[in-house]
Amino acid sequence: MMKHKFWASYLLAALAFLPSAPLGMTQVLATESVYQMAQAKSAYTQNMVLGYTETKRRNYRKALGYFQQAERLRPGDKYATTAIRNVTSYIQRGRNRIAFVPGIPGRVRSAGTRGGCFKTGESLIPLIPTNKEAQQTTAEHPTFYFYIPQTSTKVEALEFVLQDDDSSDPLYKGTFKQIAQNGIVNVTVPASKSPLQIGKKYSWTFSMICDVGNPDKNSYIEGTIVRSQDENLSLELKQPNTDLDRAVLYATAGFWEDALRTLANLRRQRPNDPEVQKYWEDLLNSVDIKEVINKPLLPCCTAQN
């Protein structure tokens, strides 16, 4: 009611400054359209923020209702539809603390893996939800995670390249020393490098160099990443939250990189915390990366000169 009074006062004030000539129907319709658009935007924002708030409280059915209302106001909106998809998954999975449902499901590891650094049946595994679409991040300088199994041959180095698809020069290229054991490694784009631009797609490649003179024997995986910004999620993240709350919010909003990075950092800080481990298991299980759940997070990677 207060909102209607506000907009009515606003419109009357605006009309007071118009010429004394009769107001044309086109002008009336345009004024009404502005009013309706402002109302819809306000209602959409309110529903999205309330949806994230209830998600943080783990009131998933209530959160779903708010996200559905937001989607009705903006049919096809990617943030609303992503939240609906993930919250619905929480409800369906029952006891899961966190889950992630890609917009385009599917993990086709063999299509992105080449080379012969490993024993038969072993391969590099990127910790990403799907090979069929870019992972989303809010970070200017994101972190990438990879599982490296035991190798069958000597590895000269690891190499990570992040490429802006509009440029021939890589945004970042790092070469790292090989690790001594199998486990999960991570590569963070240095803060000294240009930040990812919102809405732009970037390609990455992670390689294990087993034979400098014969690239065909090297193993590599590739993928894409996009930085996005959800203003309503940002509003909720400014409120007091635990790290586990933030992980759930990121996953609900579709930001895989942020959710995974948050839980990986928690695993390092609290390695014996069963609650953290359960969230980690639930997230990786939800995108079918079961085989790396109990693998150690290794202190890698330090760039070589």
Tokens of 143: 């972190």
Q: Which tens digits make up the pLDDT trace of 7-30?
A: 444 444 444 444 444 545 554 444
Global pTM reads 0.82
Q: What percent of the residues of the chain are helix, what percent strand, and what percent coil, each to the nearest 5?
A: 45, 20, 40
CA distances from 263 to 129, 190, 200, 231 (A): 15, 20, 25, 22
Q: Which tens digits make up the pLDDT trace of 219-248?
A: 889 999 999 999 999 999 999 899 999 999
CATH for 109-292?
2.60.40.10
In this predicted structure, the answer to whether residue 304 has a pLDDT above a threshold of 60 is: no
CA distance 77 to 63: 16
CA distance 183 to 292: 8
Tell me the CB-side half-sphere exposure of residue 49, using CA atoms within 13 A: 14
CA distance 189 to 179: 19
Q: What is the mean pLDDT of residues 151-172?
A: 85
Provide the β-strand partners of residue 146: 126, 185
Q: Structural domain boundaries of the chain?
A: 2-93, 109-292
Q: Which tens digits make up the pLDDT trace of 104-147?
A: 877 655 334 455 677 666 788 999 998 889 999 999 999 999 99
Q: Which tens digits make up the pLDDT trace of 83-103?
A: 999 999 989 887 778 889 998
CA distance 236 to 234: 5
